[in-house]
Structure 1
Amino acid sequence: MTQTRQLSRDEIKTLPLFPTLGMNQITVVGREQLAGALHALRTAKVAGFDTESRPTFHKGEAATGPHLIQLATMEHGYLFPVSDREVLAALGELMASGDVLLVGFDLRSDKRHLRDRFGIECTALLDVGTLFSSDSPTITVGAVQAVARVFGCYFRKSKKLSTSNWGAKVFSEAQQVYAANDAWVALRVYHALRPDA
C-alpha cells in the first residue's frame, strides 16, 4: 500500500532516479507511423496520456495549445503533433471511441482544450492522482509525488523543457524524452496501483 504522507521536494530529490523511456522507445507519429501507433494503443486498452502546449509570453496573448498529444503503452511512447490534420483526425476518433482508457495526471485542462480547439471528446479518462489516499483533501498528487510514493524513486522533470516551444516543427531529443515520459509514467503508476487492470 502506498503511503498517504506528502513527501517534500527535498525528500524526493534524495531518492534514486526513476528509469524512463529512451529515444529508441519513442515515435513522433506522422502518416507513415499512424496505423502502427493506433494498433498498438488499441491493443494495449489502457494508455498513458498528456498534452503539451507552447507557452504564452506576452500579457493578453491567447493560448493556442495543445500542440502535442502524447500517448504511451508500457513499451513505447507515441507523440502526435496536432499540425497534421489527418493524424489528428484519426487520433481524435480513437480518443472519442472509449476503446482505450486514457490515464494521466490533472487532466481537466487537457480535456477542455482538446474539446474546445479540436472538437475531440475524450470519453474514457482517469486522473491517476485520484487513486491516491491523502492526509489532506487539498493535496493534489502529481507525477513526481506519485512516483516517489509508489516506486520510491525521483521522476525528474525539467522546468526548462516543460516551457519549451511545443509548437516547433521538429522536436529535440530532450523534448521527445520529456513528453513521452510524461504520458508513460502515468501508465506505470496506474498499473502499479491497479495490477489487475
Structure 2
Amino acid sequence: MIIKRNISKQTISELPKAFFPGRIFVVQTETEAEKAVEYLSSQKVIGIDSETRPSFTKGQSHKVALLQISSDDICFLFRLNMIGLTPSIIQLLENPHVIKVGLSLKDDFMMLRKRAPFKQQACIELQEYVNQFGIRDKSLQKIYGILFDEKISKSQRLSNWEADVLSDAQKLYAATDAWSCLRIYNLLQELKENGNYEVAPEEEVIQSTSFTTESTENK
C-alpha cells in the first residue's frame, strides 16, 4: 500500500461517502450506560469522539452533549446532556486495559471534565500516531480519505446535539466519526506489523494549506 502524505480538499470532495456499517444504540439512562460499558470494557480497542451543541451567540457555550464510543460493529451514543458523565463511563475512560483511540482527544477530554473529573488512561491520539506513517494532514476526514479513499461527511457537525430526539442522520454521523478512528488505527497497526506499505516520496506530495495539528472544529 502506498500511503500519501497529504490529500487535497478537491480530491476529498470527489470521494464516495463512508458510513458506519454496524448497530447503533442510543444511551439515555444510567442503567443503559452500565450495560454499554460492560460490553465496551470487554474490547481491546475502541474508537471515541464527542459532540457539543454549537453556539451561535457570542459568550454562550455548552457542555458536551454526546459521547460516542465504538467497537468494530457496535457504537453507543451516550447522551451526556441527559445522564451526565456517569460513574460507569468514567470507569471506562480510566480503564488501563482498554485502548481508547480518537482525534483531538485533548480537546474532548478538556470538555468532558467540565461535567466530571477523571484521569483517562490508555489513549492514542491519531494526530500524533499517523506521523510515523508519513501522514501530514491531521483532520479525521483527510486521514480517512488518504487511507480508505472514502469521505466522512461533516454535514451534521453543527446540528443540535441536545435535541430531544437525535435524527437518524445525527446518529449515523456520530457513530461514523468514532468508528472511523478505530478503523484508521486498526489498519495502521496491521500495516505496521506486516510492513506492507510505502510512504509516497516527497515529490508526489499534494500541497496542503497547513501541516499543523487541527482543532476539534476540523475533526
* Structure-1-length-normalised TM-score: 0.85
* Native 8 Å contact 2:17 2:150 kept in 1: yes
Q: 2 CA distance for matches of 1:131 and 1:97?
A: 20
State the Cα distance separating 1:108 from its structure 2 match: 1.4
CA pair 56-87 structure 1, distance change in 2 beyond 3 A: closer
> Is there any run of 5+ residues in structure 2 with no aligned partner, and where?
194-219
Query: How many Å apart are 1:87 and its aligned residue?
Result: 6.8
Distance 1:34 1:111 in 2: 18
Whole-angstrom distance in 1 between the partners of 2:55 and 2:85:
25
User: Percent of aligned positions with the same letter in both sequences?
Assistant: 30
Alignment partner, residue 214 of structure 2: none
Q: Distance in 1 between matches of 2:62 and 2:115?
A: 8
Which residue of 95, 112, 115 maps to 2:113?
A: 115
Q: Tell me the equivalent position of 1:21.
A: 21
Find the counterpart in structure 2 of residue 133 from structure 1.
Answer: 131
Instruction: Report the equivalent of 1:145.
Output: 142
Task: Provide the residue aligned with 1:40 in structure 2.
Answer: 39
Q: Could you tell me which residue of structure 2 aligns to residue 156 of structure 1?
A: 153
Deviations 1:45-89 (A, max 9, x none): 21100010011121111x222111110000011000113447722
Q: Is 1:78 equivalent to 2:73 in the alignment?
A: no
Q: CA deviation at 1:104?
A: 0.9
Amino acid in structure 1 at the alignment position of 2:59: G
> One-letter code of the match for 2:16?
P
Take 2:152 and 2:2, find their aligned partners in 1: how far apart are those partners?
16
Give the direction of change, closer, same or farther, for the CA distance of 1:189–1:96 in structure 2 (3 Å limit).
Answer: same
Q: Which residue of 1 aligns with 2:166?
A: 171
What is the one-letter code of the residue matched to 1:165?
N
The 5 Å alignment of 1:51-130 reads 51-61=50-60, 63-85=61-83, 88-130=86-128
Q: 1:53 to 1:86 in 2, by over 3 A?
A: closer
Higher alpha-carbon deviation: 93-102 or 82-91: 82-91
C-alpha separation in 2, matches of 1:116 and 1:123: 18
Instruction: Give the TM-score normalised by structure 2.
Output: 0.77
Give SS of 2:124's match: strand
Q: Which residues of structure 1 form unaligned runs of 5+?
A: none
**Does the Cα contact within 8 Å between 1:72 and 1:78 map onto a contact in 2?**
yes
Q: Secondary structure at the match of 1:38?
A: helix
Number of positions where the alignment pairs a residue of Structure 1 with one of Structure 2? 190
Q: Which residue of 1 aligns with 2:212?
A: none
Q: Indicate the SS of the match to 2:41.
A: helix
Offset at residue 169 of structure 1 (A): 2.5
Structure 1 residue 131, shift from structure 2 partner: 2.1
